[in-house]
């Protein structure tokens, strides 16, 4: 039952009591006089009580104010500073410097093999002295570089220093191609061999230098 309905009900009861009291006074005026005053006081008390209950219910009906605590926003975490990349200065010639990775320095660096005698399995005979050059008294020295593959096969030859007589140069190169046998290696390599042609002695040779090559 709502507050308004309860109040209307109490008012109706009050009027009903008053009506019946009035009717009783007409029939029994003296006996009910005292009762009527008491009923009126009770009615007033009921009316006041109803007002009091209405005030309590109105007080209870007031919605409670709910104060929501403001959520504190988390402070933003500062992002780490980006590393500053400095541009590499260009050298004077305009070409960037080559960066060599650690552990790769030896890949392009030749490894010395001494004079190369340990890389020769079969030494060839000294070159023959070309007859016509000998008759003419031609002499000289020829420095030949031999390029050898990993499997020990001869790749090519290159004359580093000429004798001045093409016949002597060809005799030295042909001797290498026919007679010499080279040792296999984990890397390609070269051997420098000096050939000598002299009228005072027979032709000879001397191993000068040897190293690996890329």
Give tens-digit pLDDT for 169-214.
Answer: 999 999 999 889 999 999 999 999 999 999 998 899 999 999 999 8
pTM: 0.51
Q: How far apart are CA 211 and CA 148, in angstroms?
A: 10
pLDDT for res 25? 64
Mean pLDDT on 13-19: 75
Q: How far apart are CA 150 and CA 152, in angstroms?
A: 5
Is 46's pLDDT higher than 50? Answer: no
Class in CATH terms, 110-212: alpha beta
Rounded (5°) CA angle 103-105-109:
145
Dihedral angle sign, alpha carbons of residues 186, 187, 188, 189: negative
Confidence of residue 10 (pLDDT cuts 50, 70, 90): confident
DSSP 8-state symbol, 62: S
Mean pLDDT on 83-110: 57
């Amino acid at each position: 039952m709502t507050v308004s309905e309860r109040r209307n009900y109490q008012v109706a009861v009050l009027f009903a009591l008053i009506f019946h009291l009035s009717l009783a006074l007409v029939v029994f005026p003296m006996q009910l006089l005292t009762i009527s005053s008491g009923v009126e006081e009770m009615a007033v008390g009921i009316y006041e009580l109803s007002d009091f209950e209405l005030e309590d219910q109105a007080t209870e009906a007031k919605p409670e104010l709910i104060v929501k605590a403001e959520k504190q926003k988390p402070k933003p975490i500062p992002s780490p500073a980006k590393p500053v990349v400095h541009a590499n200065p260009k050298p004077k010639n305009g070409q960037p410097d080559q960066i060599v990775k650690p552990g790769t320095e030896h890949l392009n660096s030749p490894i010395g093999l001494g004079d190369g005698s340990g890389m020769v399995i079969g030494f060839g005979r000294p070159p023959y002295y070309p007859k016509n050059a000998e008759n003419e008294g031609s002499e000289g020295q020829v420095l030949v570089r031999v390029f050898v593959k990993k499997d020990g096969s001869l790749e090519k030859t290159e004359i580093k220093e000429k004798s001045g007589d093409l016949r002597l140069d060809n005799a030295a190169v042909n001797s290498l191609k026919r007679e010499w046998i080279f040792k296999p290696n984990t890397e390609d390599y070269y051997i420098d061999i000096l050939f000598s042609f002299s009228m005072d002695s027979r032709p000879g040779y001397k191993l000068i230098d040897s190293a690996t090559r890329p």
